[in-house]
Amino acid sequence: MHTKLQHILSQISLNPDIDKGDLAASNRLILQGITSGLDTDRASVWLMSPDKQHMHCAYLLDCDTHFAQPDISLSRQDFPHYFTALDQQRNIVAHDAHTHPQTSEFSAPYLTPLKICSMLDTPIRHHGVMVGIICIEHRQPKQWQTDEIVFAGFLADIYGRALSASERMRYQSELEQLNSGLEQIISQRTQELTQSLEQLQHTQRRLIEVEKMASLGRLVAGIAHEINTPLGVAVTANSHAEATLLALEKLFQAGQLTRQQFSQSGATIKSSIAMVNTNLQRAVDLVNSFKQTAAAGAGQQPEPLQLDRFVPKVLSSVESLLKQHQVEVQLQLPPKFTIHSFASPLATILTRLIENACLHAFNTQSKRQIQIRASKNAYSWQLEVADNGRGMTEDELSRAFEPFFTTQRNLGAKGLGLTLVFNLVSHLLQGEVSLRNTDTGCIVTLNCPLAIDTTT
């Protein structure tokens, strides 16, 4: 290749504008190199439409006059022979463009008005596909030399490089816009989620307060109802004894008191006093039960408890109850299974659970069983008390730990047994208690930490 052409080619190839993605600058640089190196009048860049049916002039250099995006287009329908030649993706070398078979159809509408005599079109390839041409035109007859054709081909390849840079910059810009949009969306969504979370937390706090007040109301109402019944009976019995005594005194003062009247009045007063004592004792028992449901354990310290020894001792204290209800207890306790807990509260928990099962779980089962199972993992120990009874309804499950809720009030149940269990496990043992149905009855599960924090 001629030294001059090599120098121009080298300068253009090394120019940083080619790889900046600025096609306008690349167009000017390449087309100036062509007109300077080949001494031609015109050079232009044409890009093919995606359907290969049209070409549009992207840039035109005519005698040192630059035209960016001139309004010039060619269609396959108007110039079929030329487009067919382009389909072969080869150079079109027309020394006399008016007579060349692939360019002659341009003679009247294009070449003659512009006084063009010779044409050299070389394909522009991008990603291996021809996307357009560099068209070199001269107004004097010109014999295109091999060096000139090769030179034009190299510059077309460099233009393909500029197209790749432009595509890369466009993708980068779109990616930056996308990232910016995503950041805005993420920021907006984060703000919305934060606001939603704050609203949920606010609603949760309000619901907790409402539930606390509702629970307190139910508790106060339950306490009032439970204490009011024995106290009401005691007041009534006392009033009846007082009225009987007053009537007896009047008969005595009037000298009309008979032995039979005295005996009957004494029996009535004695019965009333017994009724007063019974109901006052019932009120005392209720108050003691209320005290037990509070978080117990003041002054107590946790100690090692070997369950395979501890549980049988607890069972011996309720042996009469188990015999009365004909309930068999099965133990599944690993040998030397030791936990760190409070002895008296844990015994109270087991006793209440067994009493609750005996009183509420069984209907007509011929073989009544309670199973007590223990296990542990790296963080906690578990104790299960399971029965093969009737199970519980959904309403009973949801209200089981509620104070004063019982299905056996007619038999004297107060509904404080599971409430006491819940409070002892939650506050003193620092664990959790749950209740669920199975195919064969109910299971109460205690899940407590291996180490108890005694500082709280």
**Per-residue model confidence as pLDDT tens digits over 215-228:** 556 556 666 666 77
**Per-residue model confidence as pLDDT tens digits over 300-354:** 678 888 998 899 888 887 888 888 888 899 999 998 888 888 888 888 888 888 8
In this prediction, residue 456 carries a pLDDT of 58
41 pLDDT more than 60: yes
Count: domains in the chain: 3
In a domain, 8, yes or no: yes
In a domain, 178, yes or no: no
Whether the Cβ atoms of residue 222 and residue 404 lie closer than 8 Å to each other: yes
Mean pLDDT of 95-115: 93
Higher pLDDT: 2 or 275? It is 275
Q: Which residues contact 348 (CB under 8 A, 6 or more apart)?
A: 292, 420, 424
Residue 137: which pLDDT band, with cuts at 50, 70 and 90? very high
Higher pLDDT: 92 or 232? It is 92
Domain boundary among 267, 293, 319: 293
In this prediction, residue 454 carries a pLDDT of 67
Ramachandran area for residue 255 (φ above 0: left; ψ -120 to 50: alpha; else beta) = left
Q: How far is it, in rounded angstroms, from Cα 352 to Cα 330? A: 17
237 and 347 together in one domain: no
Domain boundary among 293, 319, 345: 293
Q: How far is it, in rounded angstroms, from Cα 374 to Cα 383? A: 5
Higher pLDDT: 25 or 413? It is 25
240 and 137 together in one domain: no
**Per-residue model confidence as pLDDT tens digits over 363-376:** 777 789 999 999 98
What is the domain extent for residue 228?
Answer: 207-293
9 and 147 together in one domain: yes
Residue 232: which pLDDT band, with cuts at 50, 70 and 90? confident
Q: Are strands 42-48 and 129-138 parallel, antiparallel or unpaired?
A: antiparallel
Classify residue 223 as exposed, middle or buried by CB count within 10 Å of its CB (0-12, 13-18, 19+). middle
Higher pLDDT: 381 or 414? It is 381
Strand, helix or coil at 303? Answer: strand
Q: Which residues contact 376 (CB under 8 A, 6 or more apart)?
A: 337, 339, 382, 450
In this prediction, residue 217 carries a pLDDT of 60
Q: Which residues contact 445 (CB under 8 A, 6 or more apart)?
A: 382, 383, 384, 433, 434, 435, 436
In this prediction, residue 295 carries a pLDDT of 44
**Per-residue model confidence as pLDDT tens digits over 284-301:** 766 765 565 444 445 567
20 and 163 together in one domain: yes
Q: Which residues contact 21 (CB under 8 A, 6 or more apart)?
A: 162, 165, 166, 167, 168, 169, 170
Among 165-169, 204-208, 392-396, where is mean pLDDT lowest?
204-208
Among 106-115, 324-333, 358-367, 427-436, where is mean pLDDT lowest?
358-367
